[in-house]
Amino acid sequence: MTSVETSARRWLRCYRPRPAATVRLVCFPHATGSAPFYRSWARELPDDVEVLAVQYPGRLDRIAEPALTAMPVLADMVTDVLAPRRDLPVALFGHSMGAAVAYEVARRLERRHAAPLAHLFVSGRPAPCHHRPGSKHLGPDDDLWDELRRLGGTDPAALENPQLRSALLPTLRADYRLIESYRPVDAEPLATPISALVGDVDTEAAVDEVAAWAGYTRAAFDLTVFDGDHFYLVPHRTKVLAGVIRSLGLT
């Protein structure tokens, strides 16, 4: 196995290979999230779409690796892994912190290949011009747990388990440091079409802040507002996937 293949196995999870796929959808988890968040997507999307879920360091089978705390480092490493996998058109989907990572990777892949991606989906994330730095990663542990509890998306039982909390804390603090210290550059709009998705009562991403992603592409843009909070995409998974299929031109 080559070093490139070894690196891809560390970073990407393919829960259901699709030999007949015509597009790869690379999915980026939220802060403290991991690749299995998208496991059901690999099963429910049609054979045209092969789902690759990004597994960041510092969680599950990569728990022994320190989580990354700088967006440029993370985006560069994922870009290096994806760059050789352009034998099929590549689309990116990211939720919350994952949307910011996906955008940074899209910028790098466009620049490296001088060509647009098939699509960029940004979910539950304000456009870069509305990014809000923060300092929660510097605060007490209990404040970070309260924040995670407030956002939802994490099993409440896990948040009350001392062993799990101890294992998760370094990753939680590192992910918050990464996104809170992120400083988007004033870049040229992408040539890749963008679809933005958001819940109508998401306290982390107001609809008008998400709509501002329109200014980050020279190609097509659309905005879909669901009823729900920051993790609207869990109860609305079927509708989200239908939108992904439609945007990829597979209907």
What is the residue type of 26? V
User: How confident is the model at residue 1, as a pLDDT?
Assistant: 62
Per annotation, catalytic residue among 7, 34, 40, 96: 96
Closest CA to 71 of 133, 10, 155: 133
Banded pLDDT at 199 (limits 50, 70, 90): very high
CA dihedral sign of residues 55, 22, 216, 72:
positive
Q: Is residue 38 part of a domain?
A: yes
Amino acid (one-letter) located at 147 = E
Q: How many domains does the chain have?
A: 1
* Residue 3 located in a structural domain: no
Q: Which residue has the tokens 């329109």?
A: 214
- Three-class SS of residue 12? strand
The alpha carbon dihedral of 25, 28, 29, 32 has a sign of positive
Q: pLDDT: is 32 or 125 the higher one?
A: 125
pLDDT digits (tens, 9 = 90+) for 114-143: 999 999 999 999 999 999 888 889 888 888
Q: Is 34 an active-site residue?
A: no
Say if residues 6 and 12 touch (Cβ distance below 8 Å).
no
Tokens of residue 216, six digits: 């980050």
Residues of the domain holding 86: 8-248
Q: What is the CATH number of the domain that holds 88?
A: 3.40.50.1820
Q: For residue 198, give both structure tokens.
A: 């958001």
| 1 belongs to a structural domain | no
This prediction has a pTM of 0.94
Give CA–CA dist 89/91, Å, rounded: 7
d(CA 12, CA 136) in angstroms, rounded, equals 29
Q: Answer with the residue of higher pLDDT: 17 or 143.
A: 17
How far is residue 133's CA from residue 179's CA, in Å, rounded to a whole number?
8
Please give the pLDDT value at position 3: 73
Q: Residue 233 phi/psi, 5° resolution?
A: -70, -15
Q: Please say whether the beta carbons of 95 and 28 come within 8 A.
A: yes
Identify the pLDDT of residue 159: 76
Phi, psi (rounded to 5 degrees) for 175: -65, -40
Average pLDDT, the chain: 93
Sequence-distant (6+) residues with CB within 8 A of 43 are 15, 16
